[in-house]
Structures are given as C-alpha cells and as structure tokens.
Chains A and B, each alone.
Chain A
Amino acid sequence: KQEVTQIPAALSVPEGENLVLNCSFTDSAIYNLQWFRQDPGKGLTSLLLIQSSQREQTSGRLNASLDKSSGRSTLYIAASQPGDSATYLCAVSFGATNKLIFGTGTLLAVQP
C-alpha cells in the first residue's frame, strides 16, 4: 500500500526562523510530488510541484527537494513569517493516472 507520511505533525517557530518540513513515501516509483498549503476551513493552494526527474524546485522563500531513492522530500521555508501559518500537505502521484495520495500534514504556527 502506498503511504505518505509527514513529520512533524505540528511545529511552532518564532518569526524569522528558517524551517524544514519532511515528507516520506513508501514507493519510490513516483510520478511527481507536490506541496500544498491549506488554511483553516479552506481549500488547497499549490506551492511547488516536483517531477520525478527533478531534484528540487524553488519559489520565492520556498524550496522543495526530492530524493526518490530514500523516499523523501523536504520543504524548506526561509525567513518564516506569521502569514506562513497554515497546514502544509505533501501529495504524491504514483502513476500517470494523476491520483494524489496525501500526507498527514504539518500544522505550522509562526509566532510574531
């Protein structure tokens, strides 16, 4: 069974800190991996998408890496801000069907 796990489940940091969120998956034969942000009671905002052939993607203060062999991805957030507070979800597509399997999420709180 394909599973996606995220650690930590929750994280609280002071404003300005750099932080890393982790995502692991059980099957290395992934098609792509995405990181999303979800605000309370809201839908998802796509942050970064990494194809299986790529090792990292960057967007502004966000950098996502992918290591298929170890079944891991990290989301690095630089100079965190209170507005970054949200739940961060990683999702993996294991085939060309584009079906996404979501991780358990990391609830991030950035303290002003």
Chain B
Amino acid sequence: GAVVSQHPSWVICKSGTSVKIECRSLDFQATTMFWYRQFPKQSLMLMATSNEGSKATYEQGVEKDKFLINHASLTLSTLTVTSAHPEDSSFYICSAMDSRVGETQYFGPGTRLLVL
C-alpha cells in the first residue's frame, strides 16, 4: 500500500515552454502533498506544500508564479513549470500523506526535467 506515482518520469522540453508534472496517490487519500527539487549531487529541497482544496504554501525563494501547484483532489497534485529555462532542469519529487491518519510521507519516483 501507500503508493505514489509521478508522470512523466522524464521530460525534455525547449526553453520557454511549460511543463506539467502529475503526482498521484494510488491507494490512499492525500490531504497534503509536498513538492521537492533535487539538483545533481545535492539533497532534496522543499519547494512547496499543498493541502487539498487550498492554495499551496511556497518556501522562501521559490517563485509561485513560475511553479504553479494545483491540488484539486485527494489523489492528484500537479506542478507546472511555466516558461521553463535551462536552470530549471532538475529532478522533481513529490510526496503525499494523509494527515488524518499519520505523519508518514510517501514519495513518488521522481520526474527528471531537462530544459534545452
């Protein structure tokens, strides 16, 4: 149980285009989802926290107009990188939890984004 999927697993896009990444909780309801970014040989950095039905809370230094997060249902959150640039190339990982039953976050397999 407690499986989180991400789609796509990898994406290559041209500079200036927008990319949408999906995060789904497959067998549980996720009241809260987190989005992380990981640059090569670095650790994970939290970008934002989203609660179902509410606006996302962004960490300091993360542009909310560039990284649009939607968490409209208890099983799906999306991260849209708008007008992507090469410096946005990274590994994006989501995690999901049901705060009503516990504190464990379940992580997705990640999405590798390469912006040319």
Interface string of A93-107 (1 = CB under 8 A from B): 100011111111100
| Closest residue of B by beta carbon distance from A91 | B44
B43–A104 contact, CB under 8 A?
yes
The stretch from A14-22, A36-44, A53-61, A68-76 touching chain B is: A36-44
Are A89 and B46 CB-contacts (below 8 A) given A41-B112, A43-B107, A100-B34?
A: no
If over half of B's interface residues share one DSSP class (helix, strand or loop), that class is named, otherwise mixed; here it is strand
Q: Which residues in A have their C-beta under 8 angstroms from that of B105?
A: 46, 98, 100
Query: Across the interface, do A101 and B106 meet the contact criterion of CB distance under 8 Å?
Result: no
B93 interface hit (Cβ, 8 Å): yes
CB proximity to A under 8 Å, residues B1-57: 6, 32, 34, 36, 42-46, 49
Please give 7 more A-B residue pairs, beta carbons under 8 A apart, in addition to A44-B44, A46-B107. Answer: A43-B109, A49-B104, A89-B44, A93-B103, A98-B34, A104-B42, A105-B43
Residues of A within 8 A of B (CB): 31-32, 36, 41-46, 49, 89, 91, 93, 97-105
Those 8 A-B pairs whose CB atoms lie nearest each other, nearest first: A43-B109, A44-B107, A102-B43, A102-B44, A43-B110, A43-B107, A104-B43, A105-B43
